[in-house]
């Protein structure tokens, strides 16, 4: 009788090792995909949230913020309004008043235009030049009133006169536009003399 010897075949062990390694690779791949999905969600949330902006005034203090408007924004808008409304000469008065309309509450623009006809005529006839330099701008968010104290220099017939300009401006916050990026619109303007009380 002849003896037969069987050699152990290692093929099933190799297959088992490959299957185990494949299982670990699948777990690793799924973990990476899950982590990437989570990171993508966090990235989308961060992009949609946007940066946090803290408004500071000229002293470095945090500016008062009400209705998403700061007093600095209102002051900047009023400085621009004054630059157009009260700085002109006979050749620029029409263009300056036209630019001022960007700061007038839209339903009141036609009334503003009518009220400026006499001003334009007077400036052109008398050859008046005017400049205004704001000294103090106070903003009352509660009553939506801006109080302006400024130096006004008027020149006509080669004579110059310096006076104090006191303004009380009622305002509304509305849509922002390229010409009025602050969205501040004047609804009423009262001008007082130098001796009027504020």
Please report which helix (H) or strand (E) contains residue 131, including its range.
strand 129-140
Residue 153: phi and psi, rounded to 5, are -115, 120
Total of domains in the chain: 2
Q: Do 87 and 36 lie in a common domain? A: no
Give me the CATH number covering residue 130. Answer: 3.10.450.230
Per-residue pLDDT tens over the stretch 55-107: 666 677 766 555 467 888 899 999 999 999 999 999 999 999 999 999 999 99
Domain that holds residue 39: 16-48
Assess if residue 104 is contained within a domain. yes
Residues 124 and 185 in one domain: yes
pLDDT tens string 116-152 = 999 999 999 989 999 999 999 999 989 999 999 999 9
168 assigned to some structural domain? yes
- Nearest to residue 86, comparing CAs of 135, 138, 150? 150
Q: Helices in the chain by DSSP H: which ranges?
A: 11-49, 71-85, 93-100, 109-126
In this structure, which long-range contacts are made by residues 107-115, counting pairs with CB atoms below 8 Å and at least 24 apart in sequence?
Answer: 108/187
Using pLDDT thresholds of 50, 70 and 90, give the confidence band for residue 195: very low
């Amino acid at each position: 009788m002849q003896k037969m010897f069987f050699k152990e075949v290692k093929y099933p062990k190799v297959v088992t090792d490959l299957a185990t390694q494949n299982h670990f690779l699948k777990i690793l791949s799924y973990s990476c995909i899950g982590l990437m999905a989570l990171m993508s969600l966090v990235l989308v949330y961060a992009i949609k949230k946007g940066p946090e902006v803290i408004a500071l005034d000229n002293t470095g203090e945090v500016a008062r913020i009400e209705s998403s408007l700061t007093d600095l924004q209102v002051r900047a808008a009023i400085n621009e309004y004054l630059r157009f409304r009260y700085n002109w000469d006979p050749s620029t008065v029409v263009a300056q008043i036209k630019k001022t309309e960007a700061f007038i509450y839209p339903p009141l623009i036609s009334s503003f235009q009518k009220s400026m006809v006499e001003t334009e005529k007077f400036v052109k006839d008398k050859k008046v030049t005017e400049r205004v330099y704001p000294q103090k701008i106070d903003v009352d968010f509660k009553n939506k009133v801006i109080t302006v104290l400024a130096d006004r220099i008027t020149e006509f017939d080669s004579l110059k006169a310096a006076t104090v300009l006191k303004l009380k401006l009622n305002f509304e916050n509305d849509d922002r536009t390229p010409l009025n990026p602050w969205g501040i619109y004047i609804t009423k303007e009262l001008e007082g003399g130098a001796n009027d009380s504020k």
